[in-house]
Amino acid sequence: MKILGILGSPRSRGNTAILLEGVMEGARRAGAETRVISVASLDTNFCAGCSHCFRYGQCHYRDDVEKVKEKMLDADGIVLGSPVYIGTVSAQMKTIMDRCAYFIHCFLLAGKYGAAVATAGAGQAEEVAEFQNRFLRMCGAYTVGAVWAKGIGTGKLQDEPEAVARAINLGAELVAAIRERREYPEQAAEHAPLRESMKQLVLESREEYPAQYAHWSEQGWLE
Ligand SMILES: Cc1cc2nc3c(=O)[nH]c(=O)nc-3n(C[C@H](O)[C@H](O)[C@H](O)COP(=O)(O)O)c2cc1C
């Protein structure tokens, strides 16, 4: 079982990295293979809003974000981690999310499981963790939980054993959910209206965006 961690902090040993590593540790103890990718170390481009992905099924950039997306598709579980930057995710994390618009249109993470971590100086860590989980659900995944920490100084998370312990538990929980193929009826209910509105979009834009239409047809979602 593969668990992929995506670190959205530019600080590779910062608070978010410590919390994300806690989730990875919990997942490894439960028997999973883990890998963390730090977005800040990659060659990335912002989404150009060109709709190339909807039309052709892949982005026109051939940069490292495409490799991250391949790893996401290859993983059984995905854990997103971001510091709170001006009330939301970091630019690094948002870049990955924006570049995954095709994942959302085609629910490419359906059947996978996710979780999120966030850290903040003062507040909004819970909201930002939930925002990341909502993104994963928009891509079709089920999310098993989130861990956040706030009110911590730079690089001080190692002094918060309780937060790291919660992260370790979350990693174990993620692996258990994947093993059991756990169902989340309330999340399935959240997926349903999004699927319905996306279906209309896919049908209406059949000529303009043949790749997403083809994907929906292959999945049998248009019947
Ligand atoms: C550019 C920037 C913006 C930030 N914005 C917020 C914010 O809006 N709210 C908050 O509580 N903390 C904010 N912080 C503090 C970070 O969220 C906090 O220190 C976090 O734990 C840093 O994570 P890291 O160690 O993984 O980089 C900000 C920090 C930076 C550098």
Residues 201 and 220: their CA atoms lie apart, in Å, by 16
| pTM, two decimal places | 0.97
Give the nearest ligand 1 atom to 11 CA: 27
As a whole number, the mean pLDDT across the chain is 95
Instruction: Tell me how far the alpha carbon of residue 133 lies from the centroid of ligand 1, in angstroms.
Output: 19
Fold for the domain defined by 2-184:
Rossmann fold (3.40.50)
State the pLDDT confidence band at 223, using cuts at 50, 70 and 90.
Answer: confident
What pLDDT, in 10s, does the model give residues 159-175? 678 999 999 999 999 99
CB 32 within 8 A of CB 179: no
Considering all CA atoms of the chain, what is the largest pairwise distance in Å, rounded to the nearest integer?
56
Tokens 């902090």 label which residue? 9
| Ligand 1 mutation target, pool 12, 21, 36, 84, most atoms within 8 A of CB | 84
What pLDDT, in 10s, does the model give residues 172-200? 999 999 999 999 999 999 989 999 999 99
DSSP class per residue in 122-178: SS-HHHHHHHHHHHHHHTT-EEEEEEEEES--TT-GGG-HHHHHHHHHHHHHHHHHH
What pLDDT, in 10s, does the model give residues 43-87? 999 999 999 999 999 999 999 999 999 999 999 999 999 999 999
| Ligand 1 mutation target, pool 85, 89, 92, 150, most atoms within 8 A of CB | 85
Instruction: Tell me how far the alpha carbon of residue 155 lies from the centroid of ligand 1, in angstroms.
Output: 11
Domain boundaries in the chain?
Answer: 2-184
Lining residues, ligand 1, CB within 6 Å = 9, 11, 14-17, 83-87, 119-124, 152, 154
Copy the structure tokens of residue 137.
Answer: 């659900």
Evaluated on CA atoms 87, 91, 93, 99, the torsion sign reads: positive
In 3-state terms, what secondary structure has residue 197? Answer: helix
116 pLDDT more than 70: yes
